[in-house]
Amino acid sequence: MTAAAGLAITGGTVVTLGPPRVERRDILLGAAPRRTLDASGCLVMPGLAIAHTHLYSALALGMPAAPGVPRSFREILERVWWRLDAALDEKSLEASAEQALLDAALAGVTAVIDHHESPSFIDGSLDVLARAARASGIAAALCYGATDRHGAKGARAGLAECERAIRAGLPAMVGLHAGFTVSDETLHAAVDLARSRSAWLHVHVAEDACDAGSFARLEKARALGPKTILAHGVHLTAEERARVRDAAAWIVHNPRSNLQNAVGYADPKTLGSRVALGTDGMDADLFAEARAAHLRAREAYGPAGGIDAVALLANSGRLADLALGERPSDWIVLDYDPPTPLAAANLAGHVLFGMGARHVRDVVANGKVVVRGRKSVRVDAARIRARSREEAARLWRRMA
């Protein structure tokens, strides 16, 4: 991606996460910068990227409780998320995507890798997401998660939507929901499609014990490689983790979602160097996600252990660059006045325990300002929130 017009971000302290670096300098975008974004007294850092999310889930906030109390992860899916995704139509999906992408921009996110399902509205669903992304100014890699839970016809329609989007030139991947909801036929068809189109494959794997056998099926289908994104990986065995590393596949860690669903700990320290960070559709706050990743690892490994959660944030940016193209013109300005000295050596402490989405003041995506003074300059936030409330109410009624 290249900047459409020149921009200079001046007066700020530039921080980068991988490797950690803190320096006073200006950011010059475009050959001859003409506009200026004053970052005096602020931090400037590369735009953040969510490596796994669900834009369709924004209308779930405050949703009425599921009938009965879910006793397992599968029951959570059956009573909550599969009821929601089956009730989505074009209007509610558009409202959800607009709201999720607005929230992402305001949180300093300039790229998302989305995994989508709306079994009652498949054909054209990725176009809806793509339009919302273009309007927001946020780059989005898209896929439809094909599944056999509505029969083979639904699975074929999901893969057809992926192929249509790829052929149309959208930033699209091939998607599968998860091994435990897809047949061998659907799995092999997805792998063949990804290979024939040189596309990425994005799939949930071993999120819960009910999907513990999915990795072996993916491996048998020759689905693993550098362009494979495996979300969660909680219940991968030690041998499977080694094979993920050998295949150079990407794993996306979603610690808050894993805690919410009580599925266990993904143990990212054992997953190799290609581990990124996702929010799994809970929200767009990567600062909170990184903090949760750090704290969950401390709980798991003890005070002498832990993981480099900030490196996972940096990896998410690397993965987004690979999937969407490099993004040298994506930057965010944080109104963060550090209460203690800030340097490369202690940057992680500031990221995890000082900075937050609340500090994001300005966002530049592809060289264009999309958020200025904590307000979107690309979309009408009040209209989006009003429509989100209206469509959420409609969606909830259909789910009842």
Using H for helix, E for strand and C for coil, what is the string for 65-127? CCCCCCCCHHHHHHHHHHHHHHHCCHHHHHHHHHHHHHHHHHCCEEEEEECECCCCCCCCHHH
CB 85 within 8 A of CB 55: no
CB 172 within 8 A of CB 143: yes
Q: What is the pTM of this model?
A: 0.97
Instruction: Tell me what pLDDT residue 31 has.
Output: 80
Q: 321 to each of 49, 227, 317, 318, 325, how far by Cα in Å?
A: 9, 12, 6, 5, 5
Cα separation, 261 vs 47, in Å, equals 29
CB 336 within 8 A of CB 349: no
Q: What is the dihedral sign for C-alpha 295, 298, 299, 303?
A: negative
Q: Average pLDDT of each block of 10 consecutive residues along the chain (400 residues)?
A: 71 96 95 88 98 98 92 96 97 98 98 98 98 98 97 98 98 98 98 98 98 96 98 98 97 98 97 97 98 97 92 98 97 98 98 98 97 98 98 96
CB atoms within 10 A of CB 260: 12
Instruction: Tell me what pLDDT residue 304 has.
Output: 85
Structure token digits, residue 151: 């029969």
Instruction: Tell me what pLDDT residue 5 has.
Output: 62
CB 238 within 8 A of CB 270: yes
CB 61 within 8 A of CB 32: no
Cα separation, 189 vs 391, in Å, equals 35
CB 166 within 8 A of CB 354: no
Closest alpha carbon to 140 in 177, 176, 167, 165: 165
CB 3 within 8 A of CB 368: yes
Cα separation, 369 vs 376, in Å, equals 9
CB 276 within 8 A of CB 319: yes
Query: In what order do the strands lie in the sheet containing 145-146?
Result: 145-146, 174-178, 201-205, 228-232, 250-253, 275-277
Instruction: Tell me what pLDDT residue 3 has.
Output: 41
